Amino acid sequence: MKLYFYYGGAQLFMSNENQNKPFNDAIAHKQNIEGFPKSRGGKLPYPIKLIGFFLFGSFVLMFIIGLVGNFLSN
């Protein structure tokens, strides 16, 4: 392990094999019980995407209708 000093502090750079290794029993227990999060690249399930499209689309549509209605009424 190498120790680098910067801005008055120290940062510890570890090798890749030690990066996922828990540093005490409590962390190891938490990792065994909860597991690791799976990164899917920020993809949402299709039903949630559909709800988002509906909500944001209706917001934009109401904004445009309100803007046009405001110009027509004045």
Residue 10 pLDDT: 47
- At residue 25, the pLDDT reads 84
pLDDT per residue rounded down to tens, the chain (74 residues): 555 555 544 445 445 555 667 778 888 888 788 877 666 667 888 999 999 999 999 999 999 999 999 999 87
Show me where the domains of the chain are located.
2-73
3-state secondary structure the chain: CEEEEECCEEEEECCHHHHCCCCCHHHHHHHHHHCCCCCCCCCCCHHHHHHHHHHHHHHHHHHHHHHHHHHHHC
How far is the C-alpha of 20 from the C-alpha of 47, rounded, in Å? 34
What is the predicted pLDDT for the residue at 47?
94
